[in-house]
Amino acid sequence: MKKTLLKASVLGIMVMGWISTQSLWAQSDPTGKKPITSTYAITNATVVTAPGKAGTKSTVLIKDGVIQGVGTNLSLPKEARIIAGDSLFIYPGFIDGGSDAGITAPKDPERPKDFVSSNPPDEIAGITPWRSAVDQYSAADGKVEDFRKAGFTIAQILPEGGMIAGKAAIVVYGSEYSTNVLKTNTALLASFSGARGMYPGTAVGVMAKFRDVYQNTKLTKGRGDQYQTVAGVNRPEVTPTYSAMMDVINSEVPVMYEASSELEVRRAISLQKELGFKLILTGLEDYANVIDVIKAANVPVLISLEIPDDKAIKAQKDEADESVKAQYARVKEAYDQAIKQASLLEKAGVPFAFTTAGTKAGDVMKSLKTMIENGLSEEAALAALTTNAASILGMSRVAGTIEKGKMANLVISTDSLFSEDSQIKHVIVDGYVYDYETKSKKKASKSEDGSAAKVAGSWDYETESPAGNSGGVFQITQDGSDYSGTITLDDPSGSGKINADLNEITVNGKSMSFSFDIAAGGMNLTVNVSGEVEGESFEGTMSVAQFGSFPFKATLNPTLIAIK
């Protein structure tokens, strides 16, 4: 494993360096990565061209990243690679209204010697409207791959920061050799979170400071206009903050306010009414009671693609007294309301899209299905993932539906998208085809009593790769339904062994999956392992973003369990 990763990453770096000076499709391609063709036809699949449209059996032809046609009588060019779609379903690629995948916050600047906490420089106080998410984004981040695997093809990436974090941008989750930027400066991300230990430290200070920045940008503009037209006017002072806020006060760029709770939604809307900027609400989590307010304000909304955890419901005990039971009932009522909020938005006729900021790609389908089980129509769910998001992001011309002339962004699943056993088999982004392994769902794969396989203990593992075999040990400990663990592996950047924590350990029936992060060749890689447990053996695959999948086998070590 060590050698594979090392080789692959070194190769990757070489290739990237080479690509930047050569044209992308040069004759010689030592990487072997160049696709033979950029024309694909997925034939005879059930195609849902837009939310609300019935799936019809047809063929989708794409070329050079653009949909060439959808229909039954397309003439397919010779160079088209045919993907037999007979059993497959095709949907428009998902669009993420707000994403933090691949975003790394820039380092805090050093505090100046004359730093005063009551009047800090903007950059330290979280006021950085000039920052762009593009500068903080890495398409190579494993999270980007995770969300692509979940069906996302376009995302509005959000900068990380304080009360005025910076400008969002829209990227496509396509080829690793492209910048993939579709649009920059799409929105100004703002929040009510204060700076730590300095002004403005709390939401009340943040609101006052936002007004201050907004009004002074207006005045700065006025001074600039005056300077241009009247002789003898003092040179106006232009600061990075005010320059970057100009397109916001001109209503060219909307303010995307993070407002998770109902009171934050009201605060953002009241600021908007007071100052007059264009507003998008994002990150809504608790909004059931302000749907009429959102509707009346007529602002676009991005709701969090996450459902509240049910820990509080699960913690309810049977043997509680009456007054406690009454309180339990209220928590349950609040929970039930929370998971049907999206359907309430739909009923109120408020078009909405999702933001995945702060959520996990692995939870996307679960969250969507929970929303659908609680009243959200499949059509509205798909619209939130495609056409509504395209409309809010101003991308409807090129994305959101499967139509001739639009970007070749497709989600191809093994069954109707939201049905129980449906899995995503291919995601096509910008004409590039990403294949994902699907598992044949066997009811028998669950253990007889339906309970989770026993995985706690110490496992010896082996993995095969073109560079040879490698192996080590991973340990899993179980605490109730929670698992944790570590893995030892050959250090990819040198000799010896290193340890990594296992993340997202999931055991479902006989299947087990987990991931871990390693640093190799200057890159942070996420390694995903998934497979089936059969008694004391585990068989599956290990996949690394961009480097492919390799077989992964393990056996549970009985002696160590005995020691434990």
Partner 1 sequence: MKKLTYFLAALLGLSITYASAQTKKGSVLIKNATVLTVTKGTLENSDVLVQDGIIKQVGQNISAPNGVETIDATGKYLMPGIIDAHSHVALDVVNEATSPIVAEVRMRDMVNPFEVGLYRALAGGVTISHAMHGSANVVGGQNVTLKHRWGSEDPADIIMQDAPRTIKFALGENPTRVHGRGRGIQPRTRMGVEAVLRNGFNEALQYKKAWEDYNAASSQKGNTKTAPEYDERLQTLVDILDGKIIIHCHSYRADEIYMLINVARDFGITKLVFQHTNEGFKVAPEIAEYTMGASVFADWWAYKMEVYYSTAFNAAILTKNGAITSINSDSAELIRHLYHEAAKTQRYGGMTDEEALSMITMNPAKQLGIADKVGSIEVGKQADLVIFEGHPLSVYAVPQKTFVDGVKYFDIEKDADDQRLRVSATEMVEPIFLTEEDHRCMQDVELNFSDISKTLFNTNY
Residue 53 has phi, psi (to 5 degrees) of -85, 140
Return d(Cα 410, Cα 87) in angstroms, integer.
16
DSSP 176-195: TTS--EEES---EEE-SPPP
Residue number with CB closer to partner 1 (324 or 561): 324
3-class state of residue 42 by DSSP = strand
Residue 234 contacts partner 1 per CB under 8 A? yes
Choose the binding region for partner 1 from 35-43, 61-69, 260-268, 399-407 (rule: CB under 8 A): 260-268
Give the residue, chosen from 41, 168, 189, 198, that forms a contact with partner 1 under the rule CB under 8 A: 198
Show Cβ contacts of residue 539 under 8 Å, excluding neighbours closer than 6 positions.
Answer: 531, 532, 551, 552, 553
Provide the terminal-to-terminal Cα distance of the chain, rounded to the nearest Å: 29
Q: Which of 19, 34, 121, 199 binds partner 1 (CB under 8 A)?
A: 199
Choice from 26, 116, 238, 348 touching partner 1 (CB under 8 A)? 116
CB of 368 to partner 1, least distance (A): 18
Q: What ranges make up the beta strands (E) of 32-72?
A: 39-47, 56-63, 66-71
44, 184, 193, 289: which one contacts partner 1 (CB under 8 A)?
A: 289
Residue found by looking up tokens 């434990």 in the block: 564
> Smallest distance from the beta carbon of 217 to partner 1, in angstroms?
10
What number of chain residues touch partner 1 (CB under 8 A)?
A: 60
Nearest C-alpha neighbor of 536 from the set 455, 469, 477: 455
From the list 11-19, 71-79, 307-315, 366-374, the region that binds partner 1 by CB under 8 A is: 307-315
Q: Applying CB under 8 A, does 348 fall inside the site for partner 1? A: no
Least Cα distance to 410 among 146, 103, 93 occurs for 93
Least separation in angstroms between CB 211 and partner 1: 6
Tell me the torsion sign for CA atoms 257, 261, 263, 269: positive
Output the smallest distance, CB 236 to partner 1, in A: 6
Nearer to partner 1, 211 or 404 (CB): 211
Q: Does 373 help bind partner 1 (rule: CB under 8 A)?
A: no
Sheet-wide strand order for 169-172:
94-99, 152-157, 169-172, 181-183
**Taking CB under 8 A as the rule, which mask of x and - marks residues 57-96 in contact with partner 1?**
----------------------------------------
Q: If DSSP codes are grouped into helix, strand and coil, which group holds residue 21? A: helix
Q: Is 358 in the site for partner 1 (CB under 8 A)?
A: no
Query: Is 215 a binder of partner 1 (CB under 8 A)?
Result: yes
202 is an interface residue for partner 1 by CB under 8 A: yes
Nearest partner of 497 among 476, 472, 466, 520, judged by Cα? 472
Contacts to partner 1 by CB under 8 A:
116-119, 196-205, 207-208, 211-212, 215-216, 218-219, 222-223, 226-227, 230-234, 236, 262-263, 266-267, 270, 274, 286, 289-290, 293, 308-309, 311-312, 315-316, 323-324, 326-328, 330-331, 333-335, 337-338
